[in-house]
Structure 1
Amino acid sequence: MSDDSYVFEGPADEPAAPRDNNPPLSISELSFALKRTLEERFGHVRLRGEISKVNRHASGHIYLTLKDDKSAIDGVVWKGSARGLGIQPEPGLEVIVTGKITSYPARSSYQIVIESMEAAGAGALLAQLERLKGRLREEGLFDPARKQPIPTFPAVIGVITSPTGAVIRDILHRIAERWPCRVIVWPCVVQGEAAAGQVANAIRGFDAMMPGGPVPRPDVVIVARGGGSVEDLWAFNDEALARAVAAARIPIISAVGHETDTTLIDFVSDRRAPTPTGAAEIATPVLADLRYTLADLDRRLTGAGGRLIEERRIRLRAVARGLPARPEDLLALPRQRLDHAASRLGSGLQRGVDRQTTRFAGVSGRFSRALLDRVIERRTDRLSAVGTRLIPTLPRRLDQATVALSALTRALASLDPGRPKPGFARVEDDAQNWLTSAAALSPGQAVRLVFADGAAAAHVDGEDDGSTPPAALRPAPRPAPRPKAPPPGQGDLF
């Protein structure tokens, strides 16, 4: 028999059974035999891997899983060793652990009992996720300014989750007890390779619904899933899913995992909830609280109205004390004053008419027809005298103005630059702009000379040497203008 074979004998008082070269073993015997073999063969080992599925038990023990790209092994840190670890285990961390290999007979699985732990760098999944986060952050998808507000009183709520899990029951129960409204569930898988694509299609499907259609468009959408390891929640770190959430026009609440779990869509969604139940609370108000608030406002409004009426009643009573007992007494004095005024009205009007008649009689005595006739005759004599002096001078003054106008017309025609006089020319450039200064000319420039009988092209040879032109070419001095005779006096019209 080899060293790896084990023989177990029964109690001594039982009759001996027939000998068998391969006696059967119980499950417990085999499990404990394998446990001793593992512990003897692998006393202490050092492993490097990525942590996932960390579970901190109430007893103080820590249960976790170490994995690489091909395999995984369960691990346990006993309460006494957990306090002395160099780092605390977190999902996604790459660590180096030291411990001994053993087995758990109840499940026939092997595990490592971890005694020490040190960091070996960030895990590959977390490193990939951090790079994706940085790229999306640079694009502005995490900007708080682009997040939409959650509606206060939603009429329709859309939920994207698995239809068979406990998450949808918790959400429906929480919504029903807080704010009874219509809930539309879009079923999809929330774990595995197909999860990201199905959730993204559900978001785009809700967003494509039109108001007033056969299926009402949700006012807010909840993307929900229960807790799990980094691998279980990794579908919600998909870049295409994150971009679908960021592009949605409907406000989206992310409720993936527990409060300590964080996925990529938590950063691009309009609101993150710690749990799916918390998402239902964020999306809905409390109907009982609203009813209590409305009842309180109604009670306060009724009380304020009652106090206002009572205040007006008190003021009315106070004012009524100053009034007479009978309404006729209130009008008696004004009636008496009206009667007295009416009795004095006729005599007052007559006195006013008499006074105005007397004033008119005193003023009308100063006006007569003879006085007006004398004023008219005096003004007529003055007008005749002025006409006698002015009429003989009008033809002479008109002749003088005509001669002056003719002289001005001839001078204007002689000075017209558009019609040069004989012996003079107008200088123009290629654009037919007039050149009126030597400074505007340059050597070699093409110019155009416009005479009274035509035009000719020319070029400027060079600058003037400053010599004085001959006397024959000097312009003759103009004769001094004759002093104009002062116009004859007009005289006084009056």
Structure 2
Amino acid sequence: MTSLTASDSSTNLSEYSVSELSGSIKRTVENAFDHVRVRGEISGYRGQHSSGHAYFSLKDDRARIDAVIWKGTFPRIRFRPEEGMEVIATGKITTFPGSSKYQIVIENLEPAGAGALMALIEERRRRLAAEGLFDQDRKRPLPFLPQVIGVVTSPTGAVIRDILHRISDRFPVHVIVWPVKVQGEGSGDEVAAAIRGFNAIAPDGPVKKPDVLIVARGGGSLEDLWSFNDEAVVRAAAESEIPLISAVGHETDWTLIDHAADMRAPTPTGAAEMAVPVKADLDAQVANLTARLRGCASRQMDLRRQSVRALVRALPSLDQLLALPRRRFDEAAAGLGRGLERTTVAKRRVFERASSGLRLELLTNRLAQQRQLLADRLGRGEHYLERQLLRERGRVARFEASLNALPARLAGQLQRERQHLAALARQADTAISHRLVRSRSAIVAQDRVLQSLSYTNVLKRGFAVIRDEDDRPLTRAADVGTGRIVSMQFADGRVAAVTGQEGEAGERPAALPQPKRRTQKPEPSGDAPKQGSLF
């Protein structure tokens, strides 16, 4: 057979490399479809990748195309893409030469008409309502007079100025503003985080926890208000422990947060009016109630005064009250003289009966008896004191005798204690001797084990320990290197050496001379060799 060369080919087509062909296709596609609008349903959307880009597909009932949104494009998209949403994507078509695929690089994304968004909102509303997030029995009443109001809105818009102005006019209270984005990518997450952040404030912390929250935004299109239809915002509003007022858009604008909030205000100014009452009205009401209270108190005092006067008229006079006591007093005063005379006669008779039994002889005998009784008692007291004195003298003599005999007893007891101490000292010496013998035996046994495990015994069999400049042992050839100063420890000492370079590939190193065998000298008997360091 004969072989054909390139010049023998019958075709004159140019040859391309794979990369050249792929690059040409990429340029052709990008030039032909550099700005297109594609309508389709989002499929395979999983949110932004860790790099910040998002990869998904657009499809209809017959075809499918890959799509990508770069990280820098997301801030310009006014709503969050979701799985199954029908959208209109604006961008350019490009190819990916590495895998022969083409895709659309999306520069702008908008929903495919308000009807699609409304259908999505309605489906989400039914699903969240089925979970009970919109039930009326879970909504809390607003406090009548809050001390602190938390506002979640943009700090640069006219909404916050309207709210602050309205609160200042009606009833000035402390207002805390949590600044958030109210439109665009990530605004829903910021609003949800702000609601949860207000609820997470400690009641006794440096920042006082609000008594009521206002989530506010000005009017706009359905796409502008899309962040307040976000599921995260609705769940945060439903979970809020602080009563929440929704003031998103104008009177005709409705979002899903309006269903989850405890109260919906038609405008941000209306939310401020719901949050606080009018101070002037309260002052007028207090003044009215004060006047009514004063009139009621005055009328009550008049009624009580008339009642007291009626009771006074019903009371009897002083003469009527004292007539009976005066009569009793007069009768008692009239009978007092006769009573004194009769009492005096009765007392005199009693005295006469008592004086008839009093004679001089009786008094003299009674005095003699008392003197004799006193003399007898004095005699008995003297005898008792003498006996008591003799008993105390005997006790003192016995105590003196025991004190005299005390030194002899102490000397005997001291001698006994000395004998006991000597016996204890002998026992201690014996115990210490036994303990020293046991300790020596244990140390000798541990020394034998230590000698058996010592690496110096391995060195005596012809091995060596190689150490680096820092006196650390080297265990692998890769740690040695070339041109390093090492020390080699043998059984009888250390030598220094410089490491050399291994031979080239395929070159055998020269044979090293075999060392002469040395006859191992028997170790002298006596003390065991000292234990060296393991390192």
Q: Could you tell me the TM-score, scaled by structure 2's length? A: 0.41
Q: Could you tell me the TM-score, scaled by structure 1's length? A: 0.44
More helix by share: 2
